Amino acid sequence: KQEVTQIPAALSVPEGENLVLNCSFTDSAIYNLQWFRQDPGKGLTSLLLIQSSQREQTSGRLNASLDKSSGRSTLYIAASQPGDSATYLCAVNPSGSRLTFGEGTQLTVNP
């Protein structure tokens, strides 16, 4: 059974800092991996999707990497802003479209 773990569970940083969120998964046979953002009381918004054949994806200040062999992904946020405060969820797609989620990292960026 695929298990997804995210570390740390919570992170508080000052504005402007670069930061890394970590995601690990137990079964390396994945179809793709996705990072989501969840604002308090809201649904999930997809940030980045990495195919199993890719090593990384970038969108603006966000960069996600994937190392299937070690079962790890990282989400790098450059020059963090208070508006980045949210919970970030990692989800692994083992095949087709069923997702297995991690518990999330709650990020607070302080002005």
Partner 1 sequence: NAGVTQTPKFQVLKTGQSMTLQCAQDMNHNSMYWYRQDPGMGLRLIYYSASEGTTDKGEVPNGYNVSRLNKREFSLRLESAAPSQTSVYFCASGGIRGGTDTQYFGPGTRLTVL
CA 80-83-84 angle, 5° bins = 50
Q: Which of 14, 40, 43, 60 binds partner 1 (CB under 8 A)?
A: 43
Unique residue bearing structure tokens 């997804």: 4
Stretch that binds partner 1, among 16-24, 64-72, 77-85, 95-103 (CB under 8 A): 95-103
R_g of the chain computed on alpha carbons: 13
Q: Which of 18, 103, 108, 110 binds partner 1 (CB under 8 A)?
A: 103
Unique residue bearing structure tokens 């569970």: 9
Binding status of residue 32 toward partner 1 by CB under 8 A: yes
| Nearest CB to partner 1, comparing residues 4 and 66 | 4
Torsion over CA of 43, 39, 76 and 57, rounded to 10 degrees?
30
Stretch that binds partner 1, among 10-18, 44-52, 58-66, 74-82 (CB under 8 A): 44-52
